[in-house]
Structure 1
Amino acid sequence: MDVYLDPLARVSSDKQNNLVFTNKSIQADAKFVTKSAQETASVLTKLAKSADGSSKGVGVDVELISAINVNNTTFIERNFTANEIAYCSKAPSPVSSFAGTWSAKEAVFKSLEVESKGAGASLKDIEILRDSNER
């Protein structure tokens, strides 16, 4: 279960080339993970574990900003609502806004504990709303 609660958890290959989770995180290797990423991972892990002792109903997702290709209109239109596209597009950093919205959608999806359809699952059915301060 810890691998699901640690956004920086990694697997490695054993001698038979099987992927195994070894409770080793890349958090300790500062050349790969910034201090702020380590702190974020720590906060998210504590948040997920604090939910009545289990992760049930808690979704956590962290995404690299660079992983969101805002130039891929098919991806954007398939996964974001018109309101989200308008909001993210007018943000000072659209790619950051899309990445944050994507992470929020993924966290909601995880918290619902529904069966994933992999790359075929559209997240357009989940809409991230902002408060009056646009947060």
Structure 2
Amino acid sequence: MTQIVKLPDSANCIIETACLETLRKLESPDDPNVLFELVGVFLQSSEARLSRLVGNLAGSDFHQIGEEAHSLKATCATLGAVALSELCKALEEAAIRKDLAETTRLVGVIELQYRVAKSELQRRVLPD
């Protein structure tokens, strides 16, 4: 059963500025690159998670898909990728239901949305 994912009103914004600003407040003269470092770790770990999602999907390993989706959901929300976080939540729920068609669809959508969020984070946080 295909489920419609209700995205928050702020989903028009790929990355919520308020989240990035909150993380920037953690920076200090002694540690001026907190946000840069967080984004770098997020991008590196997310690439690995997405790769595992695809592999787990091929093996219909719904438990692992749910675990990866749960972890990705949390880190996306922390960095303000709210729409991506909501998609990961929907994937986690589809994995719990063992809904192969919906899980497959959502993994594809998440891969696309991740690329958009990655590009936006790089544009807004990483140096030129």
TM-score (norm 2): 0.26
Higher helix proportion: 2
TM-score (norm 1): 0.25
Bigger relative contact order (CA 8 A; separation at least 6): 2
Higher strand proportion: 1
